[in-house]
């Protein structure tokens, strides 16, 4: 099963593989949420929603429902 | 020979664009509105080398030219309209050294409009802490621009920037991206249809029209026939454009920027670990709020007492120096107390604006948005609603404008509708004067009863907004997509200059805005209170003398009785007594009634109105509060301001919709009279019922 951003745990990193553009606002894409870019989950609010991320160097928060539409590949800690 | 050039400052939010604006213009700036819309327009003047004057316009912050809000749309409207008098000779794109990659996206878009564009890289002082180094020469060559590396915090590089602006003619206008790379067939056919026009501009107009439905553009016309793509297709192309732009940027930065992460000192994550913590985060937020309220109450007391006294003596001075007559009375009894009623609240309002400015400038407000989103969503609001609800404590008008960045229409509408419940600064004067009159001075757990009451009123305000949001969320049948993207900027120590200018600007507009209304109303009130029809008013002296002939009243007491009698039978007294039956169950007399009615122009008029009425009645020089404390209820004979009538009044002001400016802004932002009219009726009716219950229980 493909992971989505919503599956990340705090402190984990990943690489964005696909974004379903129908569910993602253009603004988020413009802020760097594009395939190939790295993403790290920095903090979560209670119930893991919203999620505080570092996407490609930009720090931003999005809701879990949006995160579910962003496919990622986890990067394991070596 | 002096010459003026137009400069447009453009940049992402949180890049310090406003600091650059302040550094360039200093106090030579003015804030207005764009015609027809409520977006704030900041302009200023800056002297450049060689006698050139620059007219600088600070455009609203935006992440890209693909506007998604009214504010962002202003940017593109200006940049596409060569005939606009503000059309820039040069665009200055402000970026933040830590977010260069993302900031460059907007830069490449602006550059593609073929306007000479300079790149400002701000916050250069942080490069060392973050291990960033830049090859400016390389970047200038490959971005085909001039770069100013500056630090507004350290005041470095501003002169170099001015130099670059004055040399704008040598800046290249070559675009960064060839639109044909996005989708060959589409753009080739577009080019065939409009051979003489810039492809990127055409493309912007097409995508923007989808969102904003604008028709009139002077340069690019006749597009309507070319909407061959569906909305989803266009969005896919926009995504492709974004990817292309990032490819270009990444290529340039690969050589132009090196980041040594091992050098980076990470204060942000340490602070975030505490400030966005699941428990401590909320605790700290609550403590910050508490501190603010205690501070507003305590610190502002000293200047307030001084202002109060000063206005009382100014009134006396006027009376003693100017020749006796109606005009002197108008000044001493109408205008001075009316204005004093508002000037006295400058310290508190300035403090409130100061705290809000610091919260915003420091980057903390975004953390609050993050913390509160989940909670607020339960009530049909968004985490972003916290910003309007907090800045609503200053004034509902900018707060309602601040809802624009809420992506979902339903969440935004609910926020707009409930924001007027938050305790705005215009309520503050009313609260303070009534609290001082009816709440005892004791202390509870080290906190005074009076500040606690104030805090409670603020909580009631917030509570009611949240509760009514919950109801609206259930009642309103609006389906709208909910998007939520909020940038978490780096923490910054607020710049004194920025905060100072904000406080100055906001306080000034509050005082002058309210001042004008209050001046007009106090003049009208004074006339209505000083003149009256018929025997009862004009022959008051004889009537009172006959009535009290049997009692041995002193001259002073007699004068007092005559003045009261006159006031009661003046035009204003007659009106007031006509409405008295409606407000008597709430514990008010006709004087409060008049103050209530004039409050519908703006709440803070309440104090000014009472001040004017009381000084017409009472010639003694005294502060407003003392006069109010002495007043008695005409019907019961007891004190007018008791705990019961005071609380009832406090609650009425907490809930009633008494601000025409807010109604006007709600109409503008929702584009219909339906919502402001509903707000007016429901809020005021609710206020009446609550005040009624409170008074009947407490009396």
pLDDT band at B622 (very low <50, low <70, confident <90, very high): low
Contacts across the A-B interface (CB distance below 8 Å): 106
Distance from the Cα of B93 to chain A's closest Cα (Å) equals: 17
Please indicate whether residue B646 or residue B442 has the higher confidence score (pLDDT).
B646
Question: Which pLDDT score is estimated for B514?
Answer: 67
Residue of A nearest to B98 (CA): A57
pLDDT tens per residue across span B477-507? 877 766 788 999 989 888 888 899 888 887 8
- Read off the DSSP letter of residue B487: E
Q: Tell how many helices (H) and how many strands (E) occur in chain B.
A: 32, 12
Cβ-contact B15, B92 below 8 angstroms = no
Domain boundaries, chain B: 3-170, 179-263, 280-431+443-475, 496-698
Question: Which pLDDT score is estimated for B214?
Answer: 46
Nearest residue, CB atoms, A50 vs list B269, B373, B490: B373
Distance in angstroms (rounded) separating the CA atoms of residues B565 and B577: 13
Q: What is the pTM of this model?
A: 0.81
pLDDT band at B217 (very low <50, low <70, confident <90, very high): very low
Mean pLDDT of A45-53: 91
Distance in angstroms (rounded) separating the CA atoms of residues B362 and B365: 8
By C-alpha distance, which of B61, B40, B121, B55 is closest to B88? B55
pLDDT tens per residue across span B257-270? 988 877 666 788 88
Is B38 near chain A, with CB under 8 Å?
A: no
Residues of A in contact with B371 (CB under 8 A): 45
Is A17 near chain B, with CB under 8 Å?
A: no
- What's chain B's Rg over C-alpha atoms? 30
pLDDT tens per residue across span B279-327? 999 999 989 987 887 777 677 778 888 888 888 888 888 888 888 887 8
Question: Which pLDDT score is estimated for B54?
Answer: 93
By C-alpha distance, which of B281, B361, B329, B675 is closest to B522? B329
Distance from the Cα of A20 to chain B's closest Cα (Å) equals: 10
Is B489 near chain A, with CB under 8 Å?
A: yes
Contact (CB<8Å) B374/A65: no
Tell me whether strands A38-44 and B52-58 are parallel, antiparallel or unpaired.
unpaired
| Report for B402-411, B522-531, B654-663: range of highest mean pLDDT | B654-663
Contact (CB<8Å) A60/B99: no
Contact (CB<8Å) A27/B68: yes
Question: Which pLDDT score is estimated for B591?
Answer: 85
Identify the three-state secondary structure at position B555: helix
pLDDT band at B695 (very low <50, low <70, confident <90, very high): very high
Cβ-contact B238, B66 below 8 angstroms = yes
| Report for B279-293, B427-441, B458-472, B569-583: range of highest mean pLDDT | B458-472
ipTM for the predicted complex comes to 0.94
For B33-58, the three-class secondary structure string (H helix, E strand, C coil) is ECCCCCCEEEEEEEECHHHEEEEEEE
The contacts of residue B271 (CB under 8 Å, 6+ apart) are B491
Domain boundaries, chain A: 3-75
Select from A37, A39, A45, A64 the residue whose CB has the most chain B CBs within 10 Å, as the one to mutate to test that interface.
Answer: A45
Contact (CB<8Å) A62/B484: yes
CA atoms within 13 A on the CB side of A57: 14
CA atoms within 13 A on the CB side of B603: 29
Question: Which pLDDT score is estimated for B226?
Answer: 57
Q: What is the CATH number of domain B3-170?
A: 3.40.50.300
Q: What is the architecture of the domain spanning A3-75?
A: Roll (2.30)
- Asked whether the predicted pLDDT for residue B215 surpasses 50, the reply is no
Question: Which pLDDT score is estimated for B653?
Answer: 94
Distance from the Cα of A21 to chain B's closest Cα (Å) equals: 7
Question: Which pLDDT score is estimated for B547?
Answer: 79
What the block records as the tokens of B429 is 């004067």
Long-range contacts, stretch B539-548, CB < 8 angstroms, 24+ apart? B540/B565, B540/B566, B540/B569
Tell me whether strands B40-47 and B146-149 are parallel, antiparallel or unpaired.
unpaired
Distance in angstroms (rounded) separating the CA atoms of residues B575 and B553: 30
- Asked whether the predicted pLDDT for residue B445 surpasses 60, the reply is yes
Q: Tell how many helices (H) and how many strands (E) occur in chain A.
A: 2, 6
φ and ψ of A29, to 5 deg = -60, -45
Nearest residue, CB atoms, A50 vs list B68, B246, B374: B374
Nearest residue, CB atoms, A60 vs list B232, B407, B488: B488
Average pLDDT across chain A, whole number: 89
Mean pLDDT of B78-83: 86
Cβ-contact B146, B90 below 8 angstroms = no
Distance in angstroms (rounded) separating the CA atoms of residues B176 and B241: 12
Long-range contacts, stretch B84-88, CB < 8 angstroms, 24+ apart? B86/B6, B86/B8, B86/B43, B86/B55, B86/B57, B87/B6, B88/B6, B88/B7, B88/B8, B88/B57, B88/B115
C-alpha dist (Å) from residue B165 to B15, B23, B24, B120, B362: 19, 14, 11, 11, 29
Among residues of chain B, what percentage have pLDDT more than 90?
Answer: 30
């Amino acid at each position: 099963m493909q992971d989505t951003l919503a599956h990340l745990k705090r402190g984990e990193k990943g690489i964005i593989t696909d974004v379903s553009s129908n569910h993602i606002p253009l603004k988020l894409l413009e802020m760097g949420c594009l395939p190939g870019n790295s993403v790290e989950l920095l903090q979560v609010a209670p119930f893991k929603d919203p999620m505080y991320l570092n996407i490609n160097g930009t720090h931003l928060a999005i809701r879990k429902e949006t995160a579910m539409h962003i496919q990622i590949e986890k990067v394991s800690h070596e | 020979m002096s010459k003026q050039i137009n400069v447009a400052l453009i940049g992402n939010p949180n890049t310090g664009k406003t600091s650059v604006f302040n550094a360039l213009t200093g106090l030579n700036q003015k804030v207005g509105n764009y015609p027809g819309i409520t977006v704030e327009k900041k302009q200023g003047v800056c002297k450049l080398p060689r006698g050139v004057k620059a007219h600088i316009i600070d455009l609203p912050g935006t992440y890209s030219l693909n506007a998604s809000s009214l504010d962002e749309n202003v940017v593109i409207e200006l940049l596409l309209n060569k005939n606009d008098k503000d059309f820039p000779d040069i665009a200055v794109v402000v970026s933040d050294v830590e977010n260069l990659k993302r900031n460059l996206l907007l830069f490449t878009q602006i550059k593609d409009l073929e306007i000479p564009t300079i790149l400002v890289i701000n916050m250069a002082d942080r490069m060392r802490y973050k291990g960033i180094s830049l090859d400016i020469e390389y970047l200038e060559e490959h971005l085909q621009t001039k770069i100013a590396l500056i630090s507004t915090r350290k005041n470095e590089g501003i002169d170099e920037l001015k130099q670059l602006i004055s040399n704008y003619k040598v800046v290249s206008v070559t675009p960064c991206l060839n639109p044909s790379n996005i989708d060959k067939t589409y753009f080739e056919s577009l080019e065939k249809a409009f051979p003489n026009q810039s492809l990127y501009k055409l493309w912007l107009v097409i995508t923007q029209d989808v969102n904003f439905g604008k028709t009139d553009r002077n340069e690019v016309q006749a597009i309507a026939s070319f909407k061959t793509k569906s909305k989803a297709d266009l969005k896919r192309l926009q995504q492709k454009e974004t990817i292309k732009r990032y490819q270009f940027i990444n290529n340039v930065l690969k050589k132009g920027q090196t980041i040594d992460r091992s050098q980076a000192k990470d204060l942000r994550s340490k602070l975030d670990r505490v400030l966005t913590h699941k428990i401590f985060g909320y605790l700290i937020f609550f403590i910050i709020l508490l501190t603010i309220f205690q501070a507003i109450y305590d610190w502002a007391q000293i200047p307030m007492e001084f202002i109060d006294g000063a206005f009382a003596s100014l009134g006396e001075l006027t009376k003693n120096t100017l020749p006796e007559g109606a005009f002197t009375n108008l000044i001493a009894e109408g205008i001075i107390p009316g204005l004093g009623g508002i000037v006295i609240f400058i310290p508190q309002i300035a403090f409130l604006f100061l705290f809000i400015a610091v919260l915003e400038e420091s980057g903390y407000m975004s953390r609050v948005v993050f913390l509160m989103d989940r909670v607020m969503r339960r009530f049909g609001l968004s985490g972003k609603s916290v910003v309007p609800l907090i800045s609503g404590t200053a004034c509902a008008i900018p707060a309602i404008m601040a809802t624009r960045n809420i992506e979902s229409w339903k969440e935004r509408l609910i926020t707009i509708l409930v924001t007027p419940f938050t305790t705005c600064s215009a309520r503050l004067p009313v609260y303070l004067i009534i609290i001082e009159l009816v709440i005892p001075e004791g202390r509870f757990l080290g906190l005074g009863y009076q500040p606690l009451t104030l805090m409670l009123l603020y909580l009631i305000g917030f509570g009611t907004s949240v509760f009514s949001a919950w109801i609206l969320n259930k009642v309103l049948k609006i389906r709208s997509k909910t998007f939520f993207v909020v940038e978490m900027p780096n923490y910054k120590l607020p710049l004194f200059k920025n905060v100072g200018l904000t406080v100055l600007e906001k306080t000034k507009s509050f005082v002058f805005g309210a001042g004008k209304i209050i001046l007009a109303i106090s003049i009208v009130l004074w006339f209505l209170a000083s003149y009256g029809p018929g025997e009862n008013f004009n022959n008051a002296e004889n009537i009172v003398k006959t009535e009290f002939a049997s009692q041995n009243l002193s001259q002073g007491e007699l004068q007092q009785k005559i003045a009261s009698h006159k006031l009661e039978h003046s035009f204003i007294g007659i009106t007031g007594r006509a409405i008295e039956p409606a407000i008597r169950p709430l514990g008010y007399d006709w004087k409060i009634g008049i103050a209530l009615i004039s409050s519908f122009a703006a709440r803070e008029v309440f104090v000014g109105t009472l001040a004017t009425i009381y000084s017409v009645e009472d010639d003694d020089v005294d502060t407003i509060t003392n006069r109010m404390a002495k007043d008695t209820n005409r019907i019961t004979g007891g004190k007018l301001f008791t705990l019961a009538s005071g609380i009832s009044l406090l609650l009425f002001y907490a809930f009633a919709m008494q601000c025409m400016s807010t109604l006007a802004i709600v109409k503008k932002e929702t584009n219909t009279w339906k919502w402001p009219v509903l707000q007016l009726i429901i809020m005021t009716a609710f206020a009446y019922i609550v005040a009624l219950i409170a008074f009947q229980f407490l009396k």
